[in-house]
Amino acid sequence: MIKSVSLHNEVLYNQYLELRWLLLRKPLGGIRGTEIDSMESESFHKAAFDSNGNMIGVGRIHFSGNIAQIRYMAIVKQFRSKGFGSKLIKELEKVAVKNDIKKIFLNSRIKAVDFYLKNGYNKKKSVKPSFGDIIHYRMEKIF
Ligand SMILES: CC(C)(COP(=O)(O)OP(=O)(O)OC[C@H]1O[C@@H](n2cnc3c(N)ncnc32)[C@H](O)[C@@H]1OP(=O)(O)O)[C@@H](O)C(=O)NCCC(=O)NCCS
In CATH, what number is assigned to the domain containing residue 91? 3.40.630.30
The residue type found at 108 is S
Instruction: Determine the pLDDT at residue 9.
Output: 96
Is residue 138 over pLDDT 90? yes
CA of 12 to the centre of ligand 1 (A): 24
124 domain-assigned: no
**Residue 55 domain-assigned?**
yes
pTM, to two decimals: 0.94
Which residue among 35, 69, 81, 86 is best mutated to probe the pocket of ligand 1, counting the most ligand atoms within 8 A of its Cβ?
81
% of the chain exceeding 90 in pLDDT: 94
The answer to whether residue 141 sits within a structural domain is: no
Q: Counting Cβ atoms within 10 Å, is residue 24 exposed (0-12), middle (13-18) or buried (19+)?
A: buried
Q: What is the pLDDT of residues 28-56, one digit of tens each?
A: 999 999 999 999 999 999 999 999 999 99
DSSP 50-64: -TTS-EEEEEEEEEE
> Residue 98 burial by CB count (10 A; 0-12/13-18/19+): exposed, middle or buried?
exposed
Q: Whose CA is nearest to atom 43 of ligand 1?
A: 74
Average pLDDT in the 91-101 region? 96
How many beta carbons lie within 10 A of that of residue 129, not counting itself?
14
- How far is it, in rounded angstroms, from Cα 77 to Cα 124? 27
Mean pLDDT estimate for the chain: 96
pLDDT at 129: 83
**CA of residue 8 to ligand 1 center, whole Å:** 30
pLDDT of residue 48: 98
Domain annotation covers residue 40:
yes
Among 37, 44, 138, 41, CA closest to 98: 44
The domain tally of the chain equals 1
Residues with CB under 6 Å of ligand 1 are 23, 73-75, 80-86, 108-109, 111-112, 114-115, 118
Instruction: Render 119-135 in DSSP notation, one character per residue.
Output: TTPEEEEEE--SSSS--
Domain that holds residue 62: 2-101
Cα 95 to the center of its chain, rounded Å: 13
- Rounded distance from Cα 47 to ligand 1 centre (Å): 16
Q: CA dihedral in degrees (1, 61, 7, 77; nearest 10)?
A: 50
Q: Whose CA is nearest to atom 37 of ligand 1?
A: 80
pLDDT, residue 130, reads 82
**pLDDT single digits (tens) 107-132:** 999 999 999 999 999 999 999 888 88
Rounded distance from Cα 39 to ligand 1 centre (Å): 25
